[in-house]
Amino acid sequence: GDSVTQMEGPVTLSEEAFLTINCTYTATGYPSLFWYVQYPGEGLQLLLKATKADDKGSNKGFEATYRKETTSFHLEKGSVQVSDSAVYFCALSDAGNNRKLIWGLGTSLAVNP
C-alpha cells in the first residue's frame, strides 16, 4: 500500500541555518503531497501542499517540490528561526480518496538562538 518515509529526528540547528527534511513516498497513482507542522502545545496545521508533479508548495519561507522521478517531497528553508521549532509531518493522500491521509513518522526540529 501507500507509504511515506520521513527523515528521522530530532534535528537541531542554529538560527539562520539551512534546513532540509527528507520525505519520500510510495504510491499507486498520483497522490497529493503535504507537509504539516505541529508547534508545541498546538494542533497540526497544514504548512504547504502540492497536487501534481513539479508543483512547488511554499509557505512561511518553507518550500517543497513534488518530484515524481525520485518520489520525493523534501522540505527546505533557507534560514530557520527559533519560532520554527516544531514537529514536521509529511503526508500523502491517494488519488482516489483525497480525504484519507497517509503519514510519515514526523521529524522534530529544534532551533537554537
What residue ranges bind other proteins (CB under 8 A)? 4, 36, 41-46, 49, 89, 91, 98-101, 103-106
* Secondary structure (3-state) at 84: helix
Taking the least distance from each CB to other proteins, the nearer of 73 and 89 is 89
Site of grid cell 528561526: 81
Taking the least distance from each CB to other proteins, the nearer of 43 and 96 is 43
Q: Residue 27 Cβ, how far from other proteins at the closest point, in Å? A: 15
Taking the least distance from each CB to other proteins, the nearer of 28 and 98 is 98
Other beta carbons within 10 angstroms of residue 50's beta carbon come to 21
With beta carbons less than 8 A apart as the criterion, state whether 95 and 33 touch: no
